[in-house]
């Protein structure tokens, strides 16, 4: 999972990046070097999961491996009265993300002037949203022009597919023209498949992060942002960044002092998983306890493929245990004695927290 952190200058993007990654990257920099090259900063973070800790304590493996998420601090979005398409390098970075954390400034700080002269979270969000919409509109219009050109020249190879694409992209154009992000559209699996090769920015899930001040009691309400595949969370970015850089025992004390139930990292990853439609399953043993990430609705062979492609190709059955039932039983042997281990076939849909042991036929050499 790769999430891009976006937002206007001075919104606190890098502060949020440091809070999530326990990093110490200097804040207040635009991140654009000479010649317009973007110095996108990335960090890979282990996903905190108490279930992994419990399984590791139970099996005492040589290695314990958590699921991972990559965060990218992406510079280059600017507030402008004149809308223009993104540069090639910036568009490539945005297109490579699975989703976005869109940081909007809510905190007041006279020593850090807002580029637009005042703090207005809704205005800032709409500014960036407008840029994303514009770039999608340009991409959709180019596709419609190509389809029309193919029809005019009589070079359509598959008329059925051509008609489906024309209808779908006309629908996308209408939504974007009404300033509706594409993530809000209810698409069929066939339409989703047609769009799979198009990295449309407003189709990607987005979590709006309201960066509030340390002493602010609450973030402003944002009616209209309760759209599908999107969410809103308020975060005391500067405070969370400072806590993230402390030793574990000191961090726990600060969290208690400020009434923060858990570090931002935990909450943000949970929300990100939910928005992206992801879940975790586990493999266990003396050698390794490991968490794996799959999309919700993935079948057992697809989950096996996350472990190794050979397991998916030669999949026979999956031995499945419930994490909750395993913990209640206290051991794998006791779980088996209770008749709680199940053998599932190719159609089995993996559930969050499943523990899988894949039975497969090795490929012929």
Q: Which of 178, 202, 226 is at the close of a domain?
A: 202
Spatial separation of the C-alpha atoms in residues 227 and 134, rounded to whole Å: 19
Q: What is the pLDDT of residues 114-124, one digit of tens each?
A: 888 888 888 88
Terminal-to-terminal C-alpha distance of the chain: 33
Give pLDDT, residue 155: 87
Model confidence at 34, pLDDT cuts 50, 70, 90, reads: very low
Answer whether residue 126 is part of any domain: no
My answer on whether 188 and 223 are in the same domain is no
Give yes or no for residue 328 having a pLDDT over 60.
yes
- In whole angstroms, what is the distance from residue 236 CA to residue 253 CA? 17
121-127: long-range pairs with CB below 8 Å, 24+: 121/210, 121/219, 121/220, 121/222, 122/220, 122/222, 124/7, 124/8, 124/11, 124/79, 125/208, 125/222, 125/225, 127/8, 127/79
Q: Do 8 and 18 fall into the same domain?
A: yes
Q: Within a domain: residue 282?
A: no
* Mean pLDDT, rounded, of the chain: 88
Reduced to 3 states (helix: H, G, I; strand: E, B; else coil), residue 227 is: coil
Same domain, 240 and 312: no
146 and 261 together in one domain: no
Q: How confident is the model at residue 33 (pLDDT cuts 50, 70, 90)?
A: very low
Does residue 255 form part of some domain? yes
CA separation, residue 175 to residues 91, 167, 209 (Å): 21, 13, 25
* Domain carrying residue 269: 2-46+66-120+204-275
Q: Are residues 151 and 71 in the same domain?
A: no
Q: Count the residues in the chain.
A: 365
> Residue 280, Cβ neighbours under 10 Å: how many?
20
Confidence band, pLDDT 50/70/90 cuts, at residue 228: confident
Contact partners, residue 113, CB within 8 Å, separation at least 6:
10
Of residues 35 and 141, more confidence is placed in 141
For residue 142, give Cα distances in angstroms to 73, 165, 292.
29, 13, 38
If you ran DSSP here, which 8-state letter would residue 62 be given? S
Query: Considering only 21-25, 32-36, 141-145, 319-323, which range has the smallest mean pLDDT?
Result: 32-36
Q: What is the mean pLDDT of residues 311-328?
A: 95
Please write the tens of the pLDDT for every residue from 231-272.
888 888 888 888 888 888 888 888 888 777 777 767 788 888
Is residue 307 over pLDDT 50? yes
In this prediction the pTM is 0.86
Interval 96-107: pLDDT, tens: 999 999 999 999
Token pair, residue 20, equals 């999530």
Report pLDDT for 32.
Answer: 44
What distance in Å separates the CA atoms of residue 286 and residue 192, rounded to the nearest whole number? 41
Residues 213 and 248 in one domain: yes
Cβ atoms within 10 Å of 215's Cβ, excluding its own? 8
Mark whether 209 and 198 lie in a shared domain: no
- pLDDT, residue 83, reads 58
Q: How many CB atoms lie within 10 A of CB 330?
A: 10
Number of structural domains found in the chain = 3
């Amino acid at each position: 999972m790769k999430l891009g952190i976006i937002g206007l200058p001075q919104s606190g993007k890098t502060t949020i990046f440091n809070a999530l990654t326990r990093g110490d990257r200097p804040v207040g920099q635009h991140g654009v070097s000479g010649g317009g090259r973007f110095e996108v900063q990335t960090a890979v973070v282990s996903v905190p999961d108490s279930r992994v800790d419990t399984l590791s304590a139970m099996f005492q493996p040589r290695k314990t491996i958590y699921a991972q998420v990559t965060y990218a601090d992406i510079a280059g979005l600017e507030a402008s009265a004149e809308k223009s398409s993104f540069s090639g390098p910036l568009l490539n970075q945005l297109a490579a993300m699975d989703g976005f954390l869109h940081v909007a400034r809510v905190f007041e700080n006279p020593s850090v002037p807002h580029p637009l002269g005042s703090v207005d979270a809704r205005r800032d969000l709409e500014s960036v949203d407008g840029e994303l919409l514009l770039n999608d509109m340009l991409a959709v219009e180019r596709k419609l022009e190509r389809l029309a050109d193919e029809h005019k020249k009589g070079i359509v190879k598959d008329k059925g597919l051509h008609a489906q694409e024309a209808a779908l992209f006309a629908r996308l154009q209408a939504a974007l023209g009404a300033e509706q992000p594409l993530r809000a559209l209810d698409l069929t699996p066939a339409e989703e498949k047609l769009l799979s090769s198009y990295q449309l920015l407003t189709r990607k899930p987005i979590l709006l992060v309201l960066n509030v001040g340390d002493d602010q009691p609450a973030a402003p309400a944002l009616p209209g942002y309760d759209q599908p595949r999107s969410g809103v969370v308020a975060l005391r970015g500067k405070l969370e960044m400072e806590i993230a850089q402390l030793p574990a025992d000191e961090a726990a004390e600060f969290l208690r002092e400020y009434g923060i139930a858990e570090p931002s990292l935990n909450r943000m990853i949970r929300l990100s998983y939910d928005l992206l439609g992801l879940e975790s399953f586990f493999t266990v043993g003396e050698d390794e306890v490991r968490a794996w990430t799959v999309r919700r609705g993935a079948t057992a062979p697809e989950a096996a493929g996350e472990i190794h492609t050979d397991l998916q190709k030669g999949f026979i059955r999956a031995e499945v245990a419930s994490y909750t039932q395993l913990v209640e039983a206290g051991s794998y042997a006791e779980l088996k004695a209770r008749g709680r281990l199940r053998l599932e076939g190719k159609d089995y849909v993996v559930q969050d927290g499943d523990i899988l042991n894949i039975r497969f036929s090795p490929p012929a050499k």
